[in-house]
A and B are shown apart, each in its own frame.
Chain A
Amino acid sequence: MSGTEQVPVTVLTGFLGAGKTTLLNRILTEQHGRRYAVIVNEFGEEGIDNDLVVDADEEVFEMNNGCICCTVRGDLIRILGGLMKRADQLDAIIVETTGLADPAPVAQTFFVDEDVADRTKLDAIVTVADAVHLDNQLGEHHEAEEQIAFADIVLLNKTDLVDGKGLERVEARIKKINPYAKIIRTAHCVAPLDEILGLDAFSLDRVLEFEPDFLESDHDHDHDDDVTSMSITSNTPLDFEKFQAWFSELLQTKGQDILRSKGILDFDGIDERYVFQGVHMLMDGSTMGAWPGGKSRSSRLVFIGRNLDTMGLEEGFNACKVDTL
Chain B
Amino acid sequence: MQGRYPLDYTFTEPLRQKYKTSELERRGAYADTGAPVTGAVAVGGAVAASFGDGTVRFFWPDSDPTVVNAHRGVVLCLASDSDYVLTGGDDGRFLRISLDGDIEELANFDTKWVDCVAATRGLYACSSGQKVLVWSMGQSQPTELEHSGTVGGLAFNSKGERLAVTHYGGATVWQENKRRWKRSRFVWKGSHGATTFSPDGKYLVTAMQENALHGWRIRDKANLSMSGYPAKIKSFAWVGETPYLVTSGASEAICWPFDGKDGPMNRSPVCVADGGKKIASCVQALPSEKAVFAGFKDGTVLLAELDEKKKAIVLREGTGAAVTAIAVTNSGSHLLIGDDKGKILWTPLWA
Chain A interface (Cβ within 8 Å of chain B)? Answer: 1, 4, 53-55, 57, 59, 61-64, 72, 74-75, 77-78, 82, 84-87, 113-115
Q: How many residues of B contact A (CB 8 A)?
A: 39
A82 to B91, CA, bound (A): 12
A53 touches B320 (CB 8 A): no
Which residues does B use to contact A, with CB under 8 Å?
Answer: 34-36, 38, 51-54, 73-74, 76, 90, 111-113, 115, 129-130, 149-150, 152, 168, 189-191, 193, 208-210, 212, 227, 231-232, 319-321, 340-342
List, sorted by A's number, 19 A–B pairs whose CB atoms are closer than 8 Å.
A1-B319, A57-B150, A59-B191, A61-B168, A61-B190, A61-B191, A63-B190, A63-B210, A72-B209, A74-B149, A74-B168, A77-B209, A82-B115, A85-B38, A86-B73, A86-B74, A87-B35, A87-B54, A87-B342
Q: Do residues A64 and B150 form an inter-chain contact, with CB atoms below 8 A? A: no
The distance in angstroms between the C-alpha atoms of A57 and B113, with both chains bound, is 12
What residues of B have a CB within 8 angstroms of the CB of A55 in the complex?
Answer: 111-112, 129
Whether B111 lies near A78 (C-beta < 8 A) is no
Q: A64-B190, A64-B212, A114-B231 are in contact. Are A85 and B168 (CB under 8 A)?
A: no
Contact A62 B189 (CB under 8 A): yes
What chain A residues lie within 8 Å of B209 (beta carbons)?
61, 72, 74, 77, 113
**Interface contact A82-B189, CB-CB below 8 Å:** no
Additional A-B contacts beyond A62-B189, A63-B210, A64-B208 (18; CB < 8 A): A4-B340, A57-B150, A59-B150, A61-B189, A61-B190, A64-B210, A64-B227, A72-B209, A74-B149, A74-B168, A75-B150, A82-B76, A82-B113, A86-B74, A87-B35, A87-B52, A87-B74, A115-B232
Q: List chain B residues, Cβ under 8 A from A53.
A: 111
Kindly list chain B residues whose C-beta atoms are within 8 Å of the C-beta of A77: 191, 209
Shortest Cβ distance from residue B53 to the other chain A in the assembled complex, whole angstroms: 4
Cβ–Cβ < 8 Å partners of A1 in chain B: 319-321, 341
Q: In this complex, what residue of B is CB-closest to A3? A: B320
Query: Considering the complex of A and B, which 6 residue pairs feature the smallest CB-CB distances, nearest first?
Result: A1-B320, A87-B35, A87-B53, A74-B191, A85-B52, A87-B52
A205 vs B289: C-alpha distance in the bound complex, in angstroms?
53
Task: Tell me if A87 and B51 are in contact (CB < 8 A).
Answer: yes
